[in-house]
Amino acid sequence: MQFFLPVLALLSTLASAAPVVELQTRQSGAGGIIFKDQNFKGESTFIPGNSYCTDVNNIFGNFDGKVRSIKSLLGYQCQWYIGYGCPANGVKLDCGSKDAYVSKGDLSPTFDRKIHSVFCTPKK
């Protein structure tokens, strides 16, 4: 009996921890994630999915000019701009899906280390 209770507690902890990351991401209001290294490695941070432009230089962690890979989260459409202020006529990478994560682990030379603003909105 003494062995059974710790094992049962461990198994229930592992089973309940699996969906936590996805739930935290949805509850945080994040629409996207940026990474400082290719293939989703290195430091990362969330981009709000609040339908407002986010300048990367305003995000804590010194990400401006260092973004190497990106993710648009499930249910969000994000535009990733090489200019500040999400310029209407600016060069952008547009990606997102209502039903899946959209990931770019290896950005093209046009966007690699050049993303300066992001606009993420819920996908309808």
Residue-wise pLDDT for 40-82, tens only, equals: 999 999 999 999 999 999 998 999 999 999 999 999 999 999 9
Type of residue numbered 76? Y
Query: What is the pTM assigned to this prediction?
Result: 0.76
The 10 Å Cβ neighbour count of residue 20 is 9
φ, ψ of residue 69 to 5 degrees: the values are: -150, 155
| Torsion sign (Cα): 84, 71, 75, 95 | positive
Q: What is the mean pLDDT of residues 93-109?
A: 92
Q: What is the mean pLDDT of residues 92-98?
A: 92
Report the alpha-carbon angle 108-78-49, nearest 5: 140
How large a percentage of the chain has pLDDT more than 70? 77
Q: What is the mean pLDDT of residues 15-27?
A: 44
Question: What's residue 2's pLDDT?
Answer: 55
Q: What is the average pLDDT score of the chain?
A: 84
Q: Domains of the chain, with CATH numbers?
A: 29-122 (2.60.20.10)
